[in-house]
């Protein structure tokens, strides 16, 4: 695949042989080409841009394990395992908070200095003590009771923590109330342990950004190879979960921002159907594409989290809008998890724009497809998915316009913030250019200030083009009687490059389900030179249960997830 650049500087892809492939811009996960030449020294130079941050300690020796003090027995621990320890009296919710906090200190603030966590909840001990008292009294809220969860720093928490989207413009500003999803997690017994770093403003501020960098948090690092990207924009949520700094995390996605960091960090990520999970209380980018979703080390834990956060919310009308496929009652997504879920499943394999681009991906996909057949799946191979070449530019127009409308509306509610509109954020960044703009610009924010609203003719036309993506998927599924599509989530993690920013091109399947608003689940699919690569299942609206079932069957048959070793670079020999 050859990467070209259109007049606005936004990457587009042309498949080998000239066939069109939907553009996967660097705006959300930074592109998938491996960017050559950057390593930890360059990463450290880029970290000089972070605000009021101490220099990190040197990374550990290659393959060095975490220290005992950092909680080795929390590595890869599942919700069920943590619950069993609490039930047996070997742990309490309060001890889990303390021990995850130790891991954050050992691995995030020191050691490899992952920079995945922006702040830890000062109320976590008190919340945990209350949940321990409930347990002692025989009251258990469910599988999340006493489980420490991290949330991305664009999700409101109505507590002592701030919500900043990684930007210095919102530093010190606190949200007035919990986001709907946070309230659901608290009601389910989860402990909000803290806020995670992210690509600032969900990686839609400017061109040539570096995924995982924010003004507040500096450059987040991939725990599998510290010189490589964590991807984004849910960078910290992915890294913290992979490194067992929490039991699991919540990320957000507009296009790739859950599934891409999940893929390169060896996680299960769920990008739900637009309308399944409320966005109320989340710093917005696009009402058409924004969603929250789980990022976990196992499919079971991801299903438990999705069960907790899904549901109607009058404050986000899309969650109550009629849809023939919407579940009529609350779903328990764990009921779909069976090792035989793939037996008889008809899976479409798109090849044009997905194969013949990267040898590493072709090899992994060949192995994965053979395993799916062994598990009883019926592969419809190939299936044609060739969207309108104008879909990429159309998506950009939709996002720029919706950013202006919805971010202005949200910022107006943040009374204690320094900025209350996109235009004021642009001005703030110019005034603090040494800390915010030294690495990359704010071209998308600047473009947004020129947009007039959702009745603009260019926006209306662009949105109509984007809607055709869903129709394309619907047609292919109906024609071939498919249950889902299967593809590589994206390429292995590319090098962090603070000079040129993220690379473009490579393999990615996130845009099709993102623009259509359809569900997408990624599960560990293999490794290339020690770097994780995810396998994606995506399909029709509100089929999260089915997709999770497919992912579970594959996970149980392959057991491909590995804990990170904090190597300085990839396994190149």
Q: Convert the pLDDT of each residue in 52-96 to its tens digit.
A: 333 333 344 444 433 434 479 999 999 999 999 999 999 999 999
In a domain, 53, yes or no: no
In a domain, 477, yes or no: yes
What is the extent of the structural domain holding 262?
A: 2-29+73-388+464-558
Mean pLDDT value of segment 34-51: 37
Percent of the chain residues topping a pLDDT of 90: 86
Tally of domains within the chain:
1
In a domain, 429, yes or no: no
pLDDT beyond 50 at 166: yes
314-332 confidence digits (pLDDT tens): 999 999 999 999 999 999 9
The pLDDT, as a whole number, for residue 71 is 79
pLDDT beyond 60 at 125: yes
Q: What is the pTM of this model?
A: 0.91
The pLDDT, as a whole number, for residue 503 is 76
Identify the band that residue 151 occupies on the pLDDT scale cut at 50, 70 and 90: very high
- Closest to 50 (Cα-Cα) out of 184, 200, 185, 161: 200
340-360 confidence digits (pLDDT tens): 999 999 999 999 999 999 999
In a domain, 310, yes or no: yes
In a domain, 134, yes or no: yes
Report the C-alpha gap between 192 and 234 in whole angstroms: 16
Percent of the chain residues topping a pLDDT of 70: 87
Identify the band that residue 504 occupies on the pLDDT scale cut at 50, 70 and 90: low
In a domain, 408, yes or no: no
Report the C-alpha gap between 570 and 373 in whole angstroms: 31
pLDDT beyond 50 at 41: no
Buried b (16+ CB within 10 A) or exposed e, 511-531: bbbbbbbbbbbbbbbbbbebb
pLDDT beyond 50 at 289: yes
In a domain, 275, yes or no: yes
Do 495 and 39 form a contact (C-beta atoms < 8 A)?
yes
Residue, of 436 and 68, whose pLDDT is higher = 436
pLDDT beyond 70 at 173: yes
The pLDDT, as a whole number, for residue 506 is 85
pLDDT beyond 50 at 33: no
Mean pLDDT value of segment 178-198: 99
Residue 301's CATH number: 3.90.1300.10
CB half-sphere exposure, 12, CA atoms < 13 A: 20
Identify the band that residue 573 occupies on the pLDDT scale cut at 50, 70 and 90: confident
Residues near 242 by Cβ (< 8 Å), separated by ≥ 6?
Answer: 223, 224, 265, 266, 267, 297, 563, 564
Report the C-alpha gap between 169 and 62 in whole angstroms: 37
In a domain, 125, yes or no: yes
pLDDT beyond 90 at 291: yes
Task: Say whether the peptide bond before residue 382 is cis (omega within 30 degrees of 0).
Answer: yes
Q: Which two tokens stand for residue 167?
A: 């930007």
Report the C-alpha gap between 480 and 511 in whole angstroms: 21
The pLDDT, as a whole number, for residue 91 is 98
Q: Which residues are catalytic?
A: 152, 233, 257
Residue, of 56 and 299, whose pLDDT is higher = 299
The pLDDT, as a whole number, for residue 406 is 98
The pLDDT, as a whole number, for residue 505 is 65
Where do we find the tokens 């948090």?
A: 217
End-to-end CA distance of the chain: 26
């Amino acid at each position: 695949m050859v990467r070209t650049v259109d007049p606005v500087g936004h990457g587009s892809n042309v498949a080998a042989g000239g066939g069109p492939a939907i553009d996967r811009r660097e705006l959300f996960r930074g592109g998938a080409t491996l960017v050559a030449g950057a390593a930890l020294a360059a990463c450290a130079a880029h970290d000089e841009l972070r605000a009021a941050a101490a220099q990190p300690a040197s990374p550990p020796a290659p393959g060095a394990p975490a220290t005992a003090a950092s909680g080795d027995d929390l590595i890869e621990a599942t919700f069920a395992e943590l619950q069993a320890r609490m039930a047996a009296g070997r742990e309490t919710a309060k001890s889990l908070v303390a021990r995850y906090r130790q891991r954050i200190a050992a691995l995030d603030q020191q050691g490899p200095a992952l920079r995945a966590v922006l702040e830890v909840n000062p109320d976590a001990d008190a919340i945990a003590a209350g949940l321990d008292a409930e347990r002692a009294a025989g009251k258990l809220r469910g599988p999340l009771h006493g489980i420490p969860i991290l949330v991305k720093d664009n999700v409101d928490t109505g507590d002592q923590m701030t919500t900043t989207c990684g930007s210095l413009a919102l530093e010190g500003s606190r949200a007035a109330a919990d986001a709907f999803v946070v309230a659901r997690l608290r009601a389910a017994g989860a402990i909000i342990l803290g806020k995670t770093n992210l690509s600032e403003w969900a990686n839609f501020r400017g061109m040539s950004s570096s995924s995982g960098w924010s003004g507040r948090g500096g450059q987040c690092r991939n725990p599998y190879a510290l010189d490589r990207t964590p991807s984004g924009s849910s960078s910290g949520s992915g890294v913290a979960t992979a490194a067992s700094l929490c039991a699991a995390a919540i990320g957000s996605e507009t296009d790739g921002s859950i599934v891409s960091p999940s893929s390169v960090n060896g996680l299960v990520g769920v990008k739900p159907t637009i309308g399944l999970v409320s966005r109320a209380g989340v710093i917005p980018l696009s009402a058409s594409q924004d969603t929250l979703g789980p990022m976990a080390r196992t499919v079971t834990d991801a299903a438990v989290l999705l069960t907790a956060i899904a549901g109607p919310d009058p404050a986000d009308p899309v969650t109550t809008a009629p849809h023939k496929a919407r579940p009529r009652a609350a779903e328990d997504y764990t009921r779909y998890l069976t090792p035989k879920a793939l037996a008889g499943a008809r899976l479409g394999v798109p090849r044009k724009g997905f194969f013949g681009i990267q040898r590493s991906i072709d090899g992994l996909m060949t192995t994965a497809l053979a395993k799916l057949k062994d598990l009883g799946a019926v592969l419809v191979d190939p299936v044609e998915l060739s969207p309108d070449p104008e879909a990429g530019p159309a998506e950009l127009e939709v996002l720029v316009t919706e950013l202006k409308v919805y971010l202005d509306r949200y910022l107006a509610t943040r009374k204690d913030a320094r900025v209350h509109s996109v235009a004021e954020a642009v001005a703030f960044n110019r005034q603090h250019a040494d800390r915010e703009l030294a690495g990359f610009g704010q071209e998308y924010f600047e473009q947004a200030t020129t947009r007039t609203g959702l009745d603009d003719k260019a926006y209306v036309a662009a949105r109509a083009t984007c809607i055709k993506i869903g129709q394309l998927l619907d047609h292919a599924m109906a024609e071939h009687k498919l249950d889902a599509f299967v593809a590589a989530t994206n390429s292995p993690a590319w090098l962090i490059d603070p000079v040129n920013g993220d690379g473009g091109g490579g393999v990615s399947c996130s845009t099709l389900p993102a623009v259509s608003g359809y569900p997408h689940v990624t599960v560990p699919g293999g490794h290339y030179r020690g770097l994780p690569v995810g396998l994606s299942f995506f399909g029709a609206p509100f089929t999260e249960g089915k997709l999770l079932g497919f992912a579970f069957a594959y996970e149980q048959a392959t057991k491909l997830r590995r804990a990170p070793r904090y190597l300085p670079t990839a396994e190149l020999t």
